[in-house]
Structure 1
Amino acid sequence: MAVIRRSRAAPLLALAVTLFLLFGLEYSVPEPASSSSHQTATQKQHKPKPRLHFTSSSGFNWSAAEQWYPVESLAPLPRGRPVQLPRVQHNFGTHHARNNGAVTEARRLAVKDAFVRSWESYKRFAWLEDELTPVTAAAKNPFGGWAATMVDALDTLWMMGLKDEFYAAAQAAVDIDFSKTEESGVNLFETTIRHLGGLLSAYDLSGEPALLRKAVELGDMLHMAFDTPNRMPGFWLTFENAKNGIQKAGTHDPSAAPTSMSLEFTRLAQLTGDDKYYDAIDRIRAFLESTQEESLLPGMWPSQINFASQSVLNDNTFTIGALADSLYEYLPKMFVLLSGREGSESYEKMYRRSTEIISDRIIFSPMIKRQPTDPSILFAGTVYVHDEAGPHLIAEGQHLSCFAGGMFLLGGKIFGIKEHLKIGEGLARGCGWAYAAFPTGVMPEIFNLIKCAPNDEECEWDEARWKNEGGGNARLPSGFINARDPRYILRPEAIESIFILYRVTGNEELRDVAWDMFEGIMKSTRTEYAYSAIADVTVEGETRKDDSMESFWLAETLKYFYLIFSPPDVISLDDYVLNTEAHPFKRT
């Protein structure tokens, strides 16, 4: 990658930020973000006094840690004139933005009630631990023991107007010691999207300086993961390895893991003026751009990558589901967060090229029973590339890949690609259809369908073909060959895309789709204390609970349900970019 010299102003700005963070000197931080981009002069003049107090609680100063493979010069954060990007949201009008309607408001309050019920049980039985076990009312710590649910839910608390709860939780988050964990290290990707993303969005919404200072403290720790011979991070950040300079990039890591830190590190660079955060992820961008045509399916990257040798030839599996999903999700979102400034064009280029292959090779129409007036639906499968046979599509859907509807909708609006709006709607509605198809009202984690022949727009239902190819199981809805992984683990991706489709089109019918999904989840997952992942969505009646409630239940799933029933100026997609954990970052 070509070495880019940083501007003269950047070191001075970074120095000012460092002095502020260390000594509490006066430092002008960005305006606190609100639910709307419109603020009066009076609001800007009278900033509320900070309510959070920061005193460094870290037992190790990662900002002063030795860099064993130092960077000679940093790629600078794009700071030129922002481009006026196309509007993402439908023009709802002022009246619609203010008048939410009695039915919609009742639905929004029902979502809030589910959140509060979950939050109160987390506080009672698992406070400052990562997760509540919603059946046995205990706690577990799969993410370092750094209160993942609490940090992940900060911005949801703010959006729902639970300000007292927000400030209590935010102060507890500011007091976390990120140098101590029950494990030898932490999952770099998960810590970035949940903890760093949670702190940054909470700062963007509240304007509390202590949250930004805590984000810098954590960001400096996570930045150490890039201190490897080729500046590519590994999957785990192991503290002793980082301190002793023996970290290495992975040889068979999920492609989404190191490539899905760009939004968080870019926002941290924007808020602090420190180019080191942007430089770290810009090297990954350059790697992705240079290898996009080198894989076994040119235009896409495989599910797993050898980041140590920087090769994309060691895997023949291609998907936008598990292991690869947010790699693609972040391409258009990075362009938006950078406001199309000079230096962001490669994200558009990579998005356009990858979605060309995704549209041609990954997305398929399923053979289902439908009426002529029913909307078209689409799903994303998995492609395996074999030496002689070439690419082969398996029509296997995943709940994780349901995010893709929102990705195509955002890319279609920002880059002016009309066909992507159609694809995005088809993907979003496909996942909504899958929820409605099962007796629990919830779709499974992984399932197989029968794909229609390419360009077969009619694709009439064939009962004999369905049964011949493995369907016909009395517990499976028509069209499904299997529910290979029949669980539902409180995932957000389906409602995420339905929410974005609503905000893009303004189609009120989508709120009814969302409500049906919400009711299905409530019916199937409720426990005595909160809501739980379930073992099998195909059953009639009572479901078996898996005693798991990941932090994304409060950070994403309930947030998206709350937002679709909120006025459209609440976290407008023209004001914010949401990371893969649904944390909104202010567009600047």
Structure 2
Amino acid sequence: MITSRKGRSLTTSVFLLFVAYLFLVWLPLHRLYGHHRPTPIQGAGHAQNSIHLNNSTERYPVTSYFPLPTSPGPLPRIQYDFPAETKRERKARLKKQETIKRAFLHAWNGYKNHAWMRDEVSPSSGRYQDSFSGWGATLVDSLDALVIMGLDDELEVALDALEQVDFTTTPSSSVNVFEIIIRYMGGMIAAHDLTNGKHPILLKKAVELGEMIYNAFDTHNRMPQMRWEWSRSAQNLEIIPSDITNLAELGSLTVEFTRLSQLTGDPKYFDAVQRITNELEKSQTKTRLPGLWPNVIDADRLSFDGPEYSLGGCADSAYEYLPKEHILLGGQTDQYRSMYEKSIEAIKKHMLFRPMLKDEHQKILFTSNLVVNRGGRIHHKRYVQEHLKCFLGGTVGIAAKIFKRSEDMSVARQLTDGCIWAYDTMPTGIMPESMEVVACKGKTHCPFDQNEWYEGVLGQSVNSASAKQQVEKLIDHESLPAGVTVVRDSTYKLRPEALESIFIMYRITGDKSLQNAAWRMFQRIDKATRTKFGHSSIDDVRDIEPKLSDKMESFWLAETLKYLYLIFSEPDHISLDEYVLSTEAHPFKRPTKY
């Protein structure tokens, strides 16, 4: 009896341990890594439009294409020659990388289970949004991230769904050409490149989308209608380029369309964007601020006479793509080098400034926003830093290597460090969308002047006790860090730009302090934004427990978490000497021959 009781006791213990394993280990991992086939989420407006754009007749056909350069040459090395890491370093790095991967899967599974084949999941409520034509933006934008993170089973699930996407129609009345190209086309081309063409559906669907979007270029001057009235094209009606077109949107199509021409041999895509580049080149020295283009241009009349200049959301990726297109073309033309060098010299002369910090020895750089009159005089300058501007450090770093501009490397690092500072200085440890700061009067000596800061916050002289009391109350109420005069937009939208520059500068310099900064940022972002079904944008980075906005754009998976994952990857995983990363962080293979 005693033996029997001992046997039952052992059996019971083993059984209980097995049950505990199921609930504590296997089930959580199964939920995280499970590869079930999700059901597409249906809803109002999801049914396909009765109009399809298949074989429309071009009103303004191209009679002669600009030829795609087909003999790429060697380019200077970008990446640092990393030494071998120790076992301890590798273990610590892989642990952080796995944590980031789990965050990705948490958000991916939230999308997969609650918004499959829709554009976005609402991460708090579990609802969905269709922000980008309803073709499954998060699904397609994340394809290459699945490859990069080794999630092959999830990729197979996504590719099965991609077969069902019909790019010839959409419930949307207009198509945002820029967003569709960078998210959808970029995601498919990158996944194709990363898998060496293993999945034919990727290039097939990229061409299907390309054929549709190409119709947006069928205008009298071959400039695309960026908010494309696609149903007019389907009915063979004329479309006209907008007289209010953002520079970033018009100037940021080159990398995707060039790569599509490289892969298909069809020159029309490269031709389409080369025509835009030629117009930008022609106008570059004739704007109100030679070397730079205004934020808004008239694409219908090809007028570049706008007064506002910035490197923020209306302009950013047009400058980013100058060195990247040069790389993708294998340096076969000096056009993009020349355009970049004109722009960076103008940026350094007119826009770069050093903010006034309490730590005078901490050297960081931001860029200002300018309003320029027709005579070329800058009559208004705002010392504003936007999260979208944080791409610039990485762009300048890449260009410094590719174009052998070693003098610009310190600029690239200080721009990157500026964004790290902007994160660290906020109560949540997260940078706001936009804030204004006090600029240093000198470039070398810049002691912190509290009275100057107070005057910047109040917008007037602080020469009395009551004025001082008023500004101190305002600083406390607005939670303004020292040197910051106003937080114009306190939201955080899960943006990737700061991490993008950290990734690039880490791969260029090998400086592990950049990895440390990235990890610090990830932990704070994850803590502030994690929800039941993913991660959400937040309303105010100054609140320790910020309100969630129930918004998770596809770039959270496609860019932000991808950059974080790559920061803690082996340096040869998506090497900058083998790939060009698009403005949506999609890696395109740098061609060696055709």
- 1:227 aligned residue: 218
Change (3 A) 1:241 1:100: farther
- Which of 424, 442, 457 aligns to 2:412? It is 424
- Which of 90, 114, 134 aligns to 1:125? It is 114
- Which of 183, 193, 198 aligns to 2:187? It is 198
- 2:467 aligned residue: none
Alpha-carbon separation, structure 2, partners of 1:429 and 1:349:
27
The one-letter code sitting in structure 2 at the alignment partner of 1:178 is F
Alpha-carbon separation, structure 2, partners of 1:464 and 1:177:
60
Deviation at 1:127, TM superposition (A): 0.4
Alpha-carbon separation, structure 2, partners of 1:107 and 1:354:
38
Alpha-carbon separation, structure 2, partners of 1:183 and 1:379:
38
TM-superposition CA deviations, 1:297-326 (whole Å, max 9, x none): 11100000001111101x100011011111
- Which of 532, 552, 555 aligns to 1:549? It is 552
The one-letter code sitting in structure 1 at the alignment partner of 2:557 is L
Change (3 A) 1:100 1:67: farther
- 2:392 aligned residue: 404
1:490-509 matched pairs, under 5 angstroms: 490-509=494-513
Matched, 1:578 2:581: yes
1:467-486 matched pairs, under 5 angstroms: 467-470=454-457, 472=472, 473-474=475-476, 475-486=479-490
SS in 1 for 2:502: helix
TM-score (norm: length of structure 1): 0.87
TM-superposition CA deviations, 1:469-507 (whole Å, max 9, x none): 117512111111011100000000000001111000001
SS in 2 for 1:203: helix
SS in 1 for 2:128: strand
Matched, 1:218 2:209: yes
Alpha-carbon separation, structure 1, partners of 2:515 and 2:434:
25
1:253-292 matched pairs, under 5 angstroms: 253-292=245-284
Matched, 1:393 2:381: yes
- 1:34 aligned residue: none
Change (3 A) 1:59 1:430: same
Contact 1:146 1:176 in 2 (8 A): yes
Contact 1:67 1:227 in 2 (8 A): yes
Change (3 A) 1:355 1:166: same
Alpha-carbon separation, structure 2, partners of 1:568 and 1:88:
12
Matched, 1:167 2:156: yes
1:95-106 matched pairs, under 5 angstroms: 95-96=84-85, 101-106=90-95
Contact 2:53 2:233 in 1 (8 A): no
Alpha-carbon separation, structure 2, partners of 1:433 and 1:358:
21
Alpha-carbon separation, structure 2, partners of 1:58 and 1:99:
56
Matched, 1:524 2:512: no
- Which of 448, 463, 471 aligns to 1:461? It is 448
- Name whichever of 499-508 and 97-106 sits farther off: 97-106
Alpha-carbon separation, structure 1, partners of 2:187 and 2:578:
17
**Looking at CA atoms only, which structure, 1 or 2, has the larger radius of gyration?**
2
Matched, 1:239 2:226: no
Alpha-carbon separation, structure 1, partners of 2:200 and 2:391:
32
- Name whichever of 117-126 and 178-187 sits farther off: 178-187
Alpha-carbon separation, structure 1, partners of 2:449 and 2:375:
31
- Aligned CA-pair RMSD: 1.7
Change (3 A) 1:371 1:258: closer
TM-score (norm: length of structure 2): 0.86
Change (3 A) 1:524 1:464: same
- 1:75 aligned residue: 66
Change (3 A) 1:371 1:294: closer
Alpha-carbon separation, structure 1, partners of 2:269 and 2:54:
12
Deviation at 1:104, TM superposition (A): 1.2
TM-superposition CA deviations, 1:17-67 (whole Å, max 9, x none): xxxxxxxxxxxxxxxxxxxxxxxxxxxxxxxxxxxxxxxx99988674311
Alpha-carbon separation, structure 2, partners of 1:98 and 1:235:
51
Gaps of 5+ in 2: 1-47, 459-471
- 1:92 aligned residue: 82
- Name whichever of 384-393 and 166-175 sits farther off: 384-393
Contact 1:302 1:312 in 2 (8 A): yes
Alpha-carbon separation, structure 1, partners of 2:123 and 2:326:
39
Matched, 1:336 2:327: yes
The one-letter code sitting in structure 1 at the alignment partner of 2:77 is R
Alpha-carbon separation, structure 2, partners of 1:85 and 1:62:
41
- Name whichever of 389-398 and 578-587 sits farther off: 389-398
Contact 1:234 1:248 in 2 (8 A): yes
Deviation at 1:567, TM superposition (A): 0.6
Deviation at 1:189, TM superposition (A): 0.4
- Name whichever of 465-474 and 208-217 sits farther off: 465-474
- Which of 99, 105, 110 aligns to 1:110? It is 99
TM-superposition CA deviations, 1:541-564 (whole Å, max 9, x none): 311001100000000000000000
Change (3 A) 1:389 1:202: closer
SS in 2 for 1:469: helix
Structure 1 stretches of at least 4 aligned residues deviating more than 6 Å after TM superposition: 57-61
TM-superposition CA deviations, 1:558-578 (whole Å, max 9, x none): 000000011110100000000
Aligned-pair identity (%): 44
- 1:301 aligned residue: 293
- 1:143 aligned residue: 132
Contact 1:204 1:585 in 2 (8 A): yes
Alpha-carbon separation, structure 2, partners of 1:58 and 1:349:
45
